[in-house]
């Protein structure tokens, strides 16, 4: 099979309002062909991620389960290592561990995101605990009584070039939140290769997963774009938290992207009202960044539109996508998974 025709994969990240909703969403995603299922770690607004994953381990049996993503600020490394190793005992389809500097799971607890240095040390500490049962962290010796042979792929969330480089040096996979316009994809690939080679790693062995927020399909293309358009505010929020120097935003759009990101209501992350979603789209238009962000981040339109967009992205090397429930809920996720199944089937025929 040619590299450009390698199969599309969809990994589903669940931010459900209850454990029961998470179970319904996860089992449906599994039945429609999700490649991986994650759960948000955002305790102020959502059920506890590890409790939810424990329940899901009894319902989902064919795909890896994990947290997407946790952080060094609110989760001690021993707690995280113990939680994922316990999940590995019961998750029949395997596990993964996603980590990042912290977003809604941190700011909604009146804390601030970790530095990249802190995140790097945290990743090393958790890996050491899982592998050796001991680690050094913040001038302290840590111990973890463990079962041998627990293998946990580690993913890092990256919304800038510096976090991307760190992930290429340390992680098994990367949740990439930088978009997928042609120039962005080219630079992302360059940074991943450079970071991996600096750490004497094979860049082709790193699992690159492109965070979309959601993929929106509707027979009315304009409606599909409207349904998903607010996501550009959520992704701009990640850019606005710090300076734009590593976000690949052209100078003429930086101020507008920053202002849009500052408008995003993180307390309602993933569960914005219909009125607020429309406000974000209108704000993006008023700020002159709508067309730019739409091209960079959105996958939305009719089934034919979305298929064409996915094929274009695959030609750039983008073929694994992370989607959530925020557009269309479980029905929306199922429709995306079904389309991807048809695309992959047509490749084989």
pLDDT (tens place) for every residue of the chain, 349 residues total: 344 489 999 999 999 999 999 999 999 999 999 999 999 999 999 999 999 999 999 999 999 999 999 999 999 999 999 999 999 999 999 999 999 999 999 988 999 999 999 999 999 999 999 999 999 999 999 999 987 777 899 999 999 999 999 999 999 999 999 999 999 999 999 999 999 999 999 999 999 999 999 999 999 999 999 999 999 999 999 999 888 889 999 999 999 999 999 999 999 998 899 999 999 999 999 999 999 999 999 999 999 999 999 999 999 999 999 999 999 999 999 999 999 999 999 998 8
Task: Report whether 154 contacts 127 (CB < 8 A).
Answer: yes
d(CA 92, CA 115): 34
| Every domain of the chain and the residues it spans | 3-220+299-348
| Residue 96 backbone dihedrals phi, psi, to 5 degrees | -145, 165
Indicate the pairing of strand 95-99 with strand 154-158.
Answer: parallel
Homologous superfamily of 3-220+299-348 in CATH?
Luciferase-like domain (3.20.20.30)
pLDDT, residue 1, reads: 31
pLDDT, residue 193, reads: 98
Structure tokens at 147: 């079962």
The DSSP element (H or E) to which 14 belongs, if any, is: strand 9-14
pLDDT, residue 242, reads: 84
pLDDT, residue 150, reads: 78
Outline where the chain has alpha helix (H): 19-31, 49-56, 77-90, 104-107, 116-132, 161-170, 182-198, 221-229, 231-240, 251-263, 274-286, 290-297, 303-315, 329-348
CA angle 91, 94, 96 (to 5 degrees): 110
Bond before 69 cis per omega within 30 degrees = yes
pLDDT, residue 212, reads: 96
- What pTM was computed for the model? 0.96
Indicate the pairing of strand 134-137 with strand 140-143.
Answer: antiparallel
pLDDT, residue 3, reads: 44
Give every CB contact of residue 312 below 8 A, 6+ residues apart in sequence: none
**7: exposed, middle or buried (C-beta count within 10 Å: 0-12, 13-18, 19+)?**
middle
Facing residues of 66 across strands?
38, 96
Task: Report whether 95 contacts 65 (CB < 8 A).
Answer: yes
């Amino acid at each position: 099979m040619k590299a450009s025709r390698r199969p599309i994969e969809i990994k589903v990240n669940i931010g459900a309002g209850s454990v029961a909703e998470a179970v319904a969403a996860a089992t449906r995603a599994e039945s429609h062909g999700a490649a991986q299922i994650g759960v948000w770690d955002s305790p102020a607004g959502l059920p506890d991620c590890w409790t939810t994953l424990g329940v899901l381990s009894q319902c989902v049996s064919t795909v890896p389960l994990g947290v997407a993503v946790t952080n060094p600020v609110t989760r001690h490394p021993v707690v995280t290592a113990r939680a994922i190793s316990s999940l590995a005992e019961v998750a029949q389809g395997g596990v993964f561990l996603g980590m990042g500097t912290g977003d809604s799971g941190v700011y909604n607890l009146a804390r601030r995101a970790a530095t990249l240095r802190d995140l790097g040390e945290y990743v090393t500490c958790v890996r050491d605990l899982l592998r050796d049962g001991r680690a050094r962290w913040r001038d302290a010796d840590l111990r973890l009584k463990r079962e041998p042979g627990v293998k946990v792929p580690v993913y890092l969330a990256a919304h800038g070039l510096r976090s991307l480089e760190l992930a290429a040096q340390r992680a098994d996979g990367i949740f990439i939140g930088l978009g997928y316009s042609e120039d962005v994809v080219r630079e992302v690939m360059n940074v991943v290769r450079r970071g991996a080679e600096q750490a004497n790693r094979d860049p082709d062995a790193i699992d690159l997963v492109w965070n979309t927020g959601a993929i929106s399909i509707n027979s009315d293309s304009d409606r599909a774009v409207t349904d998903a358009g607010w996501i550009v505010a959520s992704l701009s929020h990640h850019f606005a938290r710090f300076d734009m120097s590593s976000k690949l935003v052209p100078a003429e759009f930086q101020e507008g992207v920053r202002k849009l990101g500052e408008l995003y209501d993180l307390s309602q992350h993933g569960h914005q009202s219909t009125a607020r979603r429309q406000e974000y789209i209108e704000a993006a238009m008023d700020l002159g960044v709508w067309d730019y962000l739409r091209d960079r981040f959105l996958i939305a339109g009719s089934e034919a539109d979305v298929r064409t967009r996915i094929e274009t992205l695959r030609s750039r090397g983008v073929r694994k996508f992370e989607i959530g429930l925020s557009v269309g809920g479980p029905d929306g996720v199922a429709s995306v998974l079904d389309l991807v199944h048809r695309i992959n089937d047509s490749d084989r025929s």
